[in-house]
Amino acid sequence: MATAFVPAPKPQRRDYYDTATGGQLAVEKAPRRGQPGERPTVIDAVHALLHHHKLDWSQSTMRNAEDYLLRGRWPGYLAHEGIVYVDQLSTESFHEYMTVHADVLKPATLMKFRCYARSLAKFCKERPGFDAPLLSDGRDLPKPRIPKRKLPMALSVDDEARVVAAAKPGRDRLMAMTLLATGLRVGELCALTTDHLEGLKGRPAKLTIVGNIHNRTLTKGRRDRIVGFRDTYRNLPRDLLEWAIKERPASHLRDVFLSDADHALTTWGVEQLMQRIGKTAGVRCNPHRLRHTWATRCADAGIPMFHLQLLGGWESVEMVRRYYTASDLEAVAALARYRT
């Protein structure tokens, strides 16, 4: 006789207490205690916020708050802008971050970030020791402006050529071409090291992706993958090797692409760079749009969707479909290639 499935009981708030320790929190250590007169950092404030809400936020809410405020794009933005301490944080910085990412992140993602940003702002205004004169209590943090009509993500062939031509020769152009040729995520581009370039010497040339800027040993898809290069950029592997040997600035870091200040690249820095290149070219440009362009060019060239799924590191073919931007001209050309 089959045994009926009994779901596990939902964790209760009292489960966060350890009765053996007399009611002390057992899930997570208390946030770091600063010295008298020490300026609290933004990271300190986030940890204090999470500790403060340990009993009234669910576990999934806690994990989401950690992802949005301690990982991902937001810490990269803070590092790029030089924002370390709470008293440097402002309502305008939250607004600028959401405005720039309005055409990159999903509307639901931006709204969730706004929710946690408001919680952090309210906590800093009410909690003694986290004085933030430039930060309001979050109630006036405007909602991100989401375009009502979704713009096509992939660049046209002409716009793609303009973006490459507008990039400054050397590091900037190689970065733009690498994104267009391989479809790397921006975090994966930042995590490329000189060790990864060994695969460029083979035939066909390839890169092995083993991590990203947030986790050097684990990709977003949670498995290593191998990517090749589009035929349009067949000379890029050779150019990358020559640049790394002859022109790449000497550094103790092993990252292929470094910032102008000889520091590791951040995702925010790459996004700012691509926006400047796009402004010069007269094209709306960001790393995510270049990934859409790569997927669209590969699909139009006839590469099977299952192969694209492997190359792009997606979990399903449905994700490949979302990255494809349909074109009337390409549809007509495809129809002309087949007998119907």
Which CATH number characterizes residue 169's domain? Answer: 1.10.443.10
CB 183 within 8 A of CB 295: yes
Domain assignment of residue 18, yes or no: no
Instruction: Compute the distance between CA of residue 117 and CA of residue 73 in angstroms, rounded to an integer.
Output: 13
Domain containing residue 143 = 38-149
Q: Are residues 288 and 175 in the same domain?
A: yes
Q: Are residues 164 and 302 in the same domain?
A: yes
DSSP strands (E only) in 210-314: 225-227
CB 45 within 8 A of CB 130: yes
pLDDT category of residue 335 using cuts at 50, 70 and 90: low
pLDDT category of residue 5 using cuts at 50, 70 and 90: very low
CB burial of 266-299 (b: ≥16 within 10 Å; e: otherwise) equals bbbbbbbbbeebbeebebebbbbbbbbbbbbbbb
Q: Are residues 208 and 330 in the same domain?
A: yes
Looking at residues 159-163, what average pLDDT do you find? 96
Is the pTM higher than 0.75? Answer: no
Average pLDDT, the chain: 82
Q: Are residues 124 and 161 in the same domain?
A: no
What confidence tens digit (pLDDT) does each residue in 276-321 have? 999 999 999 999 999 999 999 999 888 998 999 999 988 888 888 8
Instruction: Compute the distance between CA of residue 209 and CA of residue 147 in angstroms, rounded to an integer.
Output: 33
Q: What is the CATH number of the domain that holds 114?
A: 1.10.150.130
pLDDT, residue 30, reads: 59
Q: Are residues 136 and 165 in the same domain?
A: no
Domain boundary among 95, 124, 149: 149
CB 87 within 8 A of CB 59: no
Q: Which residues sit opposite 18 in a β-bridge?
A: 24
